Structure 1
Amino acid sequence: MPNAKDKDRRESSKLNRRQFLGQSLFATTALALGSQLSWAQDSSPIMRTIPSTGRQIPAIGLGSSATFSQVAREEDIEAVRGVMSTLHRLGGRVFDTAPGYGASEEVAGQVAQNLGIEDDLFWATKLNVARNGPADPAAAREQLETSFARVGKPTIDLVQVHNMGDPDVQLGILQEYKEAGRIQHIGITTTRESQYAELMQVMRQYPLDFIGIDYAVDNRNVEQEILPLAQEQGIAVLAYAPFGRTRLWSRVGDRPVPGYAAEFDAHTWGQFFLKFVISHPAITAATPSTSRPTNMEDNIGAMIGRLPDQAMRQRMIATVDELPMA
């Protein structure tokens, strides 16, 4: 039987959703989501192939910054368990974390092992011991070994250098671990436009499997050069901040989802935003962060059914461009 704490958490989740979508929209979303999830049980999720290895992963995953990081820091194990078990149950597999996200990596590792799903997850973490200068190789290896202990499996699926930190040293170390069979994929990330030029240099210089970048319907600068380069170089892409962190929620307010969204099976604004992101051919997976199972369910709905074509993507852009700025 659900306890009082579980009931309070569900009620808090509903209130949080109303902050962004408005009370009437939340009610509509809940009805549509129930139908969508019933369909999801019998439908295959949209899968994407990692160019360098041919491995396939679902197109929607879970990030662990922002609200996820907050509940992990507060040691709210039930909240972490709820969202991770929902991800797994509904077919999601990609979990993106980092030692720099507070307690996220440690707590999520404990929860995944307790749930017995650690081997099912595509575990993507990061390396960065170069925040204020050159990376210390010994410190980098120590951080990696800590990540291995937290994940609880002998091979980590993906480790990326976080925020362009000393790629010469840190990518070199990741390559060593990859050659030893301890890491399957390596890459590098940034969500800072000021680092895009450097990122492209690294993409051309190193044998990367992945990059992680910020991309949303109202944040499309990476379409100009970075995404085409990823396609040219055969590099997979994780899309971060697909909701513009909270910016897009603030922009839509209590507006209903456009009726035309049903043409690509988007029933909520969250699915609208995520389907735009994963419909770009360069994007391998999007990893929105959340600490609420209801939001995780909504996000998973974005990798079920149809995706917008190029003409529809332009219509989606026009819709968002007409919204007030947050």
Structure 2
Amino acid sequence: MSQPPSPPSRRDVLVAGLGAALLPRLVHAAQPVPKPAPTPKATMLTRPIPKSGEALPVIGLGTWQTFDVGASPAERAPLKDVLQRFLDSGARLIDSSPMYGRAERVVGDVLAALPDAPKPFLATKVWTTGKESGLEQLETSVRDMGRGRMDLLQVHNLVDWRTHLPVLREWKAKGRVRYVGITHYQKSAFPELERLLKEETLDFIQLPYSLTDREAEKRLLPAAAANGVAVLVMQPFATGDLFSRVKGRALPEWAQEFDCDSWAQFFLKFILGHPAVNCPLPATSNPKHVADNVRAGFGRLPDAKTRERMARVLDT
């Protein structure tokens, strides 16, 4: 006759219980551990082009003086780095003109050397008198800078605008350019710019505006907003005067409130704080400077009250 099984000892009970408790953990540990979701990459702020609704990144690149260089590798290498960093940041608009010497061709050459870079938004101008001369200049610009395409064509400083603006509209109707506009750098031309904003069909206007040059706020920026015209800003650093005025001064700590960590960003974010502005166009041939400039297009922007506080920084 067999003996009845011995009752389990306390040790047996503890071991069995521990095994039961560990089993789900062991099974779970045997499963592949899912990777954490990637952190979304920050993207540059955009503003819509009023006439189309197309989203345009808020930091552009000017080329006056900075891209008027020769063909040597030593001269081109920094510009290649500038355009690569600019486009990699999410920025898109590159602005030039026949007035800027070799800049248009240099832009075209350097972009051709960056075949994998994101597609830029190309803008240039017509700067001559007479229809035939204007057509010749436009064809050269599109060939040299755009390699056959162009996003925006502008009448530079209103030179013979009555002749050129109808031509630009014809090109737009034929699909040779997507947008047309006008520019001027002198305050004496502001009344004429305002009149054209109201009387002509325009997609863009380019004008000077900065922390120390706020004349455009009085009438031009409101007129552009009222008539659905996108605003590009030339001379956002007041041709370098702004940096001279803050040389040796520390950036205010409260600049962190709108995600600003340099004077260049301070000046650009002031401009972008105005809702009528689409895109300032700081010009540079320095890769470090362009990397700094494009950061102004990320994070928070100052409100109207903060912008007035920013203006008072230079008053002191």
Q: Could you tell me which amino acid in structure 2 is paired with residue 233 of structure 1?
A: N
Q: Could you tell me which amino acid in structure 2 is paired with residue 94 of structure 1?
A: L
Q: 2: distance between equivalents of 1:74 and 1:60?
A: 28
Return the index of the structure with the highest Cα Rg: 2
- Structure 1 residue 204: deviation in Å? 1.6
CA contact (8 A) 2:79 2:287 kept: no
| Structure with the larger RCO, 1 or 2 (CA within 8 Å, 6+ apart) | 1
Q: Which residue of 2 aligns with 1:164?
A: 158
Pick closer, same or farther for the CA change 1:73–1:116 going to 2, 3 Å.
Answer: closer
Where does 1:273-312 land on structure 2 (aligned, <5 Å)?
A: 273-312=267-306
Among 178, 198, 207, the residue aligned to 1:204: 198
Q: Which residue of 1 aligns with 2:86?
A: 87
Q: Alignment RMSD, CA only?
A: 1.7
Where does 1:153-232 land on structure 2 (aligned, <5 Å)?
A: 153-232=147-226
Q: Which residue of 1 aligns with 2:67?
A: 69
Per-residue CA deviations over 1:63-110 (Å, capped at 9, x if unaligned) read 0013x1344588711121111111011111110111110111101111
Q: Which residue of 2 aligns with 1:272?
A: 266
Q: 1: distance between equivalents of 2:136 and 2:205?
A: 23
- Structure 1 residue 117: deviation in Å? 5.8
Structure 1 length-normalised TM: 0.82
Per-residue CA deviations over 1:274-316 (Å, capped at 9, x if unaligned) read 0000110000001100001100000011011100011100100
- Aligned partner of residue 54 in structure 1, secondary structure: coil
Give aligned-pair identity as a percent.
38
Q: Could you tell me which amino acid in structure 2 is paired with residue 184 of structure 1?
A: R
CA contact (8 A) 2:88 2:118 kept: no
In the alignment, structure 1 segments of 5+ residues that lack a partner are 1-39, 130-134
Q: Could you tell me which amino acid in structure 2 is paired with residue 108 of structure 1?
A: V
- Aligned partner of residue 173 in structure 1, secondary structure: helix
* Greater helix fraction, Structure 1 or Structure 2: 1
CA contact (8 A) 1:96 1:123 kept: yes
Pick closer, same or farther for the CA change 1:274–1:73 going to 2, 3 Å.
Answer: farther
Which piece of structure 1 moves more, 111-120 or 280-289? 111-120
Pick closer, same or farther for the CA change 1:60–1:179 going to 2, 3 Å.
Answer: same
Query: What is the count of residue pairs matched by the alignment?
Result: 277
Q: 2: distance between equivalents of 1:72 and 1:313?
A: 40
Per-residue CA deviations over 1:98-148 (Å, capped at 9, x if unaligned) read 11101111011111112126871000101111xxxxx21011011111011
Per-residue CA deviations over 1:248-293 (Å, capped at 9, x if unaligned) read 0110011010111000011000000000001100000011000011
Q: 1: distance between equivalents of 2:300 and 2:107?
A: 31
Q: 2: distance between equivalents of 1:118 and 1:200?
A: 37
Where does 1:23-34 land on structure 2 (aligned, <5 Å)?
A: none
Q: 2: distance between equivalents of 1:47 and 1:77?
A: 29
Q: Which residue of 2 aligns with 1:254?
A: 248
Q: Which consecutive segments of 4 or more residues in structure 1 shift more than 6 A? A: none
CA contact (8 A) 1:61 1:95 kept: yes
Pick closer, same or farther for the CA change 1:266–1:144 going to 2, 3 Å.
Answer: same
Report whether the alignment pairs 1:142 with 2:131. Answer: no
CA contact (8 A) 1:155 1:181 kept: no
Structure 2 length-normalised TM: 0.84
Q: 1: distance between equivalents of 2:145 and 2:116?
A: 11
In the alignment, structure 2 segments of 5+ residues that lack a partner are 1-38
CA contact (8 A) 1:178 1:185 kept: yes
